[in-house]
Amino acid sequence: MTTRVQCRCGEVEIELTGEPLVQFYCHCDDRQAVHGAAYAPESVYPSDAVTVVRGGPKAWTLKRNPRFFCGQCGTRLFIDVLALGVRGLNGYLLPDGQFRAAFHMQCQFAVRPVSDELPHFKSRPARFGGSDELVEW
Ligand SMILES: [Zn+2]
Ligand SMILES: [Zn+2]
């Protein structure tokens, strides 16, 4: 199964192969700064399952992982998490109904807590190198 997504202006098109490994909302402080948002949705795939099929996204690096965006319209596209061999796609690029978050993470940094039925991890879930500790929202 493949899915194609685009930036807002259509300059960059990306093909996704298969299902995401995980989808979540991240509230970390890095994300707040680079997205200018309280939190952001991420849909994670094996790196080779996310292929740029049109256009040439621009990259910048905040700390160690390159982040890619459209040089024309500025849409945030994906981050390469090099240590894990995964690409985290901006979840809002997906067609309606295909972003279904399993949890919130990095809630210790939250500036705008969200009350919903999902787990709210203080850092990351244990299976992603965290502690499984939850916050009370
Ligand atoms: Zn664009
Ligand atoms: Zn984050």
Q: What is the pLDDT of residues 59-99, one digit of tens each?
A: 999 889 999 999 999 999 999 999 999 999 999 999 999 99
How far apart are alpha carbons 13 and 51 in whole angstroms? Answer: 9
Q: Across the chain, what does the average pLDDT equal?
A: 96
* Residues with C-beta atoms within 5 A of ion ligand 2: 26, 28, 31
Spacing, Cα 35 to ligand 2 middle (Å): 10
pLDDT digits (tens, 9 = 90+) for 20-45: 999 999 999 998 998 899 999 999 99
CA distance to 33, 46, 123, per residue, from 19 (Å): 29, 10, 24
Spacing, Cα 68 to ligand 1 middle (Å): 11
Spacing, Cα 93 to ligand 1 middle (Å): 12
- Could you say which ligand is closest to the alpha carbon of residue 7? 1
pLDDT of residue 137: 84
Count of CB atoms situated within 10 Å of the CB of 95: 9
pLDDT of residue 128: 86
> Amino acid letter at 76?
R
> Amino acid letter at 131?
S
How far apart are alpha carbons 79 and 75 in whole angstroms? Answer: 12
Which tokens go with 50? 């996310």
- Could you say which ligand is closest to the alpha carbon of residue 14? 1
pTM of the model: 0.94
Spacing, Cα 28 to ligand 2 middle (Å): 4
